Chains A and B, each alone.
Chain A
Amino acid sequence: MEIPYTIETRHDTGLYNAKLGIWLFLASEVMLFGGLFASYILLRTGASEWPHGSTYLNIPLATLNTVVLIASSVTMVMSWASLMMNEFKKFKIYMGITILCGFLFLIVKYFEYSAKFEHGYFPSNNTFLAIYFTLTGLHGLHVIGGIVVNSYFWGAGSKMWFFQPKRFTNRIEIAGLYWHFVDLVWIFLFPVLYLL
């Protein structure tokens, strides 16, 4: 039994199944982070005082992380473009850089977190730190998820290129959409938590 439209697109929607699927998933992710941002707004407007991000957080490190994540988004889309141009080797390079950027982001995050803990800043200290750790922690989990998926497509999963190139390109596009979304969330998290 063959499921239709796994590779080619359906004529009236112009989509293949997985692309619609990932966008629906991202829509639900929008609501997930929407719920967190809504909590942030409600807690902050209700608070008698609210610290500026810089009193606890390290802005230069976070700026570095922003640059790293945006760069990884570019290499991610380039890895897909390379497959579109039938350049598998380039794909490997760009995807490799994307994964490395993901790791770099997590390493920087690790140093940030451990610095907080050394100073005795824990989620239980106040609402600002609570929401900081929850939001960045959840975002970090999304980054880890992205790295796992990307690593699979870079390694064992890339064999598919040799017998189903179209399908593999689709998969990279899907993985890319997710990765860009993680980047997009960070673009909002960065000013909200660190700069305001």
Chain B
Amino acid sequence: MEHSNIQQHIKKYFYVFAALMVLTVITVAIASFHLPIAIAVTLALIVAGVKGTMVASYFMHLISEKKTILIILAFTIFFFLGLLFLPTLTEIDSISRNVS
């Protein structure tokens, strides 16, 4: 990377830092309203998702990363989502019975 390029990057890092701080405040603020659980979870995960994406894209430079790494991560995300939701889906019949 060029010298001037790096300078631009550094600017970006501080913008991202500011945005992350603002989002941290927002996420705590949302929680203080004690919204219904479904809405609270959705909002909290959206904010966390945005923050996580910013860290991954800018601090970890994923935004300009090589194809090989992006493919590996795409695979991983696929398996990650399977792992995250399939176990709970296998229980969905008994969970909905509990709720009703």
Contact = CB atoms under 8 A, between A and B. Distances in A.
Touching chains A and B, CB distance < 8 Å: yes
B69 A181 contact: no
A179 to B, nearest CB: 9
Contact of A41 (B10, B27, B47, B88): B88
Nearest to B95: A45
- Which 6 A-B pairs give the minimum distances between C-beta atoms? A195-B31, A191-B44, A27-B76, A14-B66, A34-B80, A180-B59
A77 to B, nearest CB: 5
A196 B60 contact: no
A14 B94 CA distance: 50
Interface string A173-194: 0001100110110011011101
Q: Interface range on chain B: under 10, 10 to 19, 20 to 34, or 35 or more? A: 35 or more
Interface of B: 1, 3, 6, 9-10, 13-14, 16-17, 20-21, 24, 27-28, 30-31, 34, 37, 40-41, 44-45, 47-48, 51-52, 55-56, 59-60, 66, 68-69, 72-73, 75-77, 79-80, 83-85, 87-88, 91, 94-95, 98
A187 B51 CA distance: 7
Given A27-B76, A31-B80, A81-B13, A73 B55 contact: yes
Contacts of B47: 191
